């Protein structure tokens, strides 16, 4: 039986044989993209190249990208949702198109992974006459031929909307036409939502059929996009052939292919199990939990799924340099870890258990991702420290309950939410402790209703805050993004001059209004040191340093030429290195691995009479400081 690790490696080798260059995964936390907290899809790091920028490795690329979608946290617990997952991805940047892409993916699924073609179903775009976008008959015909080669009859069915699918059902079909569901753009699905200037196009999805009945709670009839779990999407080929303009949709001069296939889902299909937690990169975590708790998976399914998923996500966040905190990515990481610890209570695990579970997770990935093996000790330390802190907050919550009992105060829904929100105290545990203490409580119905109301208020506030924090364009392509990106390079070097060579970049976030920079440093930066950094940066800007880049072999750039990089970042065989150097100078002031974009000369940062100024310096996490700076 082929495991998930085998599938990952087979895919990379298979696409490499088709002329693709294997590129390293990007960090789970995107760099210089203020529009999102995490790398949520395989194509996200490739967007600049899908928009026309030339990639140093050519026009055919392949990778396996680690992804995290925090919005799926509340969905984890069913048979297929995870916050962390891997996307197998391949891209054609103006090279091959539909004929090659669909055949290669089909051959990989059937010939390499060994899936039964009788269990594969596909969807195509039904077209949008009002936008002059035709029905994707080309993809449908290609699929017809591919199925025919395997002796499978491929009847075509027009579904239309996803909602309509629940009314009309499968109808014995193999190839299904949907409208908005099979259209890709960077907004909500459908051509009507595509922003002017965006690339877009139809896509074709592949589904695997499991042996289970349809659950009518989702709708009267089943169809490939049904949510009942009978069908599971395992891959999607996006054909970017249009550009939205103010006049409508125009054909792109160079068509691109963006493919993404879920490693976990393909692995689940390979073992013919609709439960993705039974695959080789998740099941060993479940087995470790069974051994540690003395409980079995069948009776504690939801809790074990949540723990396995959340700790896998937290492990990769730690590998990529994130530490638990109360802000942004660190906040999500903290929520993942604490939610896993709370679920451990359901299993009767009340002692430190992350030191037991995290090595199980790192062992699953260390052979394919060397950075995981290199960072095992640090990852365990980071997560074990968070567990210790959280257990202290639980004790604080316990004391509050005991004080309320002493004061003869009844436990309310507001109290329940306060215990959860302030102390991270599980509401189930709070109710159990209240019962043990003999506390008065409001009715369970009232407690849960008020708790849910307070939780909804918090979610709405968090969403509003997120919209205000993470605004800005994709990848930072505006002139102000370029200026702040350039200023970040200058400040990085100035910090190393003032504080020492131990300073290493640990993350950055650039908007049109400011730059934010995280770096390793054991103590607070003094006002005198901040003033010196500002002075150095402004002096270098005033010298009008020329900004340019060149590509070098990675080993040469880092080891021989001394190019700076970011902590945790990984590179391919060659890298793009930006240098900032004054006329006549022998050595550049800044020499750093980076993808861009930047201004051409540093004096451009002084346009409109602006100067560089640091406006805030604070702790980001243990051993990591954070600076925010502006051009004013």
H helix intervals, 238-375: 263-270, 283-293, 301-319, 328-346, 354-365, 370-374
Decide if 426 is inside a domain: no
Structure tokens at 136: 């994707």
Give the pLDDT score at 247.
86
The answer on 250 and 293 residing in a single domain is no
In the chain, what is the straight-line distance between the N-terminal and C-terminal CA atoms, in Å? 62
Cis bond upstream, residue 597 (ω within 30): yes
Q: Is residue 388 part of a domain?
A: no
Non-local (6+) Cβ contacts of 53 within 8 A are none
Q: Are residues 8 and 137 in the same domain?
A: yes
The domain in which residue 523 lies consists of 479-631
Count CA atoms closer than 13 A to 610's CA, side-chain side.
20
Instruction: Specify the pLDDT at position 93.
Output: 95
According to the model, what pLDDT value does residue 469 have?
Answer: 36
Q: Do residue 93 and residue 112 come from a single domain?
A: yes
36 with 177, same domain: the answer is: yes
| 320 shares a domain with 270 | no
19 sits in the region (left: phi over 0; alpha: psi -120 to 50; else beta) called left
What is d(CA 252, CA 201) in angstroms, rounded to the nearest whole number? 10
CA 464 to chain centre: 20
Q: Which residues of 405-431 are buried (b: 16+ CB within 10 A; e: fewer)?
A: beeeeebbbebbbbbbeebbbbbebbb
How far from chain centre, in Å, is Cα 319? 14
What pLDDT is attached to residue 470? Answer: 32
Contact yes or no for 494/486 (Cβ under 8 A): no
Same domain, yes or no: 165 and 290: no
For residues 433-443, b (16+ Cβ closer than 10 Å) or e, as one string?
A: bbeeeebebbe
Residue 577, H or E segment: strand 574-581
Would you call 127 helix, strand, or coil by DSSP? coil
Give the end of a domain, one of 278, 312, 344.
278
Confidence (pLDDT) at 471: 30
* Residue 197 domain flag: yes
204 and 335 belong to one structural domain: no
DSSP 5: H
pLDDT for res 157:
97
> How far apart, in whole angstroms, are the C-alpha atoms of residue 21 and residue 420?
48
All residue ranges of the chain with pLDDT < 70 are 32-35, 72, 187-188, 424, 459-477, 567-571, 622
Closest CA to 364 of 276, 281, 267, 266: 281
Which pair of structure tokens corresponds to residue 152?
């499978």
Q: What is the CATH number of the domain that holds 85?
A: 3.30.930.10
286 and 201 assigned to the same domain = no
Q: Are residues 286 and 274 located together in one domain of the fold?
A: no
Q: Which residues, including other chains, have CB under 8 Å from residue 179's CB and lie 6 or more apart?
A: 125, 126, 127, 128, 160, 161, 190
Residue of 493, 494, 489, 335 whose CA lies nearest to 420: 335
Handedness of CA 259, 263, 268, 269 (dihedral sign): positive
Give me the count of residues in the chain. Answer: 632
pLDDT at position 622: 67
Tell me how many domains the chain contains: 3
Q: How far apart are CA 226 and CA 223, in angstroms?
A: 5
Give the domain CATH number at 529.
3.30.980.10
Residues 6+ apart with CB under 8 A from 350: 344
Residue indicated by tokens 């609709």? 274
Please report where in the chains the tokens 């849960």 appear, as a residue.
Answer: 448
Quote the DSSP letter at residue 513. S
Same domain, 8 and 88: yes
pLDDT at 534: 95
* 3-state DSSP assignment of residue 85: strand
User: Could you tell me if residue 526 is inside a domain?
Assistant: yes
115 domain residue, yes or no: yes
120 shares its domain with 234? yes
CA dist., res. 21 & res. 91, Å (int): 10
Q: What is the pLDDT of residue 475?
A: 41
- 234 neighbors 266 (Cβ within 8 angstroms): yes
186 assigned to some structural domain: yes
Domain boundary among 247, 278, 309: 278
Per residue in 419-446, pLDDT (tens digit) is 887 776 777 778 877 888 888 888 888 8
Of 256, 278, 300, the position where a domain reaches its end is 278
Is residue 467 domain-resident? no
Note whether 300 and 195 are same-domain residues.
no
Which of 529, 516, 82 lies closest to 277 in space, CA to CA? 82
Does the residue 291 lie in any domain?
A: yes
């Amino acid at each position: 039986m082929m495991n998930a690790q085998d599938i990952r490696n087979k895919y990379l080798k298979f696409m490499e044989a088709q002329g693709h260059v294997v590129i390293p995964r990007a960090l789970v936390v995107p760099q210089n993209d203020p529009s999102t907290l995490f790398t949520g899809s395989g194509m996200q790091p490739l967007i600049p190249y899908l928009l026309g920028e030339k990639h140093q490795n050519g026009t055919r690329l392949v990778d396996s990208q680690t992804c995290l979608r925090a919005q799926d946290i509340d969905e984890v617990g069913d048979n297929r949702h995870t916050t962390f997952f891997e996307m197998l991805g391949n891209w054609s940047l103006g090279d091959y198109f539909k004929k090659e892409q669909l055949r290669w993916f089909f051959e990989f699924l059937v010939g390499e992974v060994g899936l039964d073609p009788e269990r594969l179903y596909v969807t195509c775009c039904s077209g949008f006459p009002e936008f002059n976008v035709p029905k994707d008959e080309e993809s449908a015909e290609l699929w017809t031929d591919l199925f025919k080669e395997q002796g499978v009859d491929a009847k075509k069915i027009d579904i239309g909307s996803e909602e309509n699918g629940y009314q009309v059902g499968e109808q014995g079909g193999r190839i299904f036409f949907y409208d908005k569901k099979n259209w890709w753009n960077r907004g909500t699905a459908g051509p009507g939502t595509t922003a002017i200037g965006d690339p877009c196009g139809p896509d074709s999805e592949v589904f695997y059929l499991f042996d289970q009945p349809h659950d009518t709670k989702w709708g009267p009839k089943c169809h490939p996009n049904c949510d009942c779990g009978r069908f599971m999407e395992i891959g999607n080929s996006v054909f970017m052939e249009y550009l939205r303009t103010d006049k409508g949709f125009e054909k792109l001069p160079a068509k691109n292919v963006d493919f993404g296939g879920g490693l976990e889902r393909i692995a689940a299909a390979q073992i013919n199990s609709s439960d993705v937690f039974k695959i080789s990169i998740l099941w060993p975590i479940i087995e470790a939990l069974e051994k540690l708790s003395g409980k079995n998976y069948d009776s504690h399914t939801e809790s074990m799924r949540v723990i396995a998923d959340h700790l896998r996500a937290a492990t990769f966040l730690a590998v990529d340099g994130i530490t638990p905190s109360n802000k942004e990515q660190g906040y999500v990481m903290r929520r993942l870890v604490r939610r896993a610890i709370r679920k451990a209570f359901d299993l009767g695990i009340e002692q430190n258990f992350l030191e037991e579970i995290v090595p199980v997770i790192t062992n699953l990935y260390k052979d394919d991702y060397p950075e995981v093996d290199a960072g095992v000790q640090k990852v365990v330390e980071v997560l074990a420290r968070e567990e210790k802190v959280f257990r202290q907050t639980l004790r604080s919550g316990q004391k509050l309950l005991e004080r309320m009992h002493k004061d003869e105060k009844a436990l309310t829904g507001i109290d329940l939410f306060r215990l959860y929100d302030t102390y991270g105290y599980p509401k189930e545990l709070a109710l159990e402790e209240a019962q043990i203490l003999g506390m008065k409580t409001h009715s369970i119905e009232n407690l849960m209703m008020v708790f849910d109301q307070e939780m909804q208020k918090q979610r709405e506030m968090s969403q509003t805050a997120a919209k205000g924090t993470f605004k800005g364009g994709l990848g930072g392509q505006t002139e102000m993004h370029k200026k702040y990106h350039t200023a970040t390079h200058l400040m990085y070097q100035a910090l190393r001059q003032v504080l020492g060579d131990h300073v290493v970049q640990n993350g950055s976030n650039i908007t049109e209004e400011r730059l934010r920079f995280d770096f390793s440093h054991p103590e607070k930066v003094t006002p005198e040191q901040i003033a010196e950094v500002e002075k150095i940066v402004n002096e270098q800007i005033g010298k009008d340093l020329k900004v340019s880049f060149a590509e070098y072999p990675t080993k040469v750039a880092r080891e021989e030429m001394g190019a700076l990089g970011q902590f945790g970042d990984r590179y391919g065989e060659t890298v793009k290195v930006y240098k900032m150097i004054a006329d006549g100078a022998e050595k550049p002031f800044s020499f750093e691995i980076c993808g861009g974009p930047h201004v051409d000369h540093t004096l451009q940062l002084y346009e409109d009479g602006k100067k560089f100024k640091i406006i805030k310096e604070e702790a980001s996490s243990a051993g990591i400081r954070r600076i925010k700076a502006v051009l004013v």
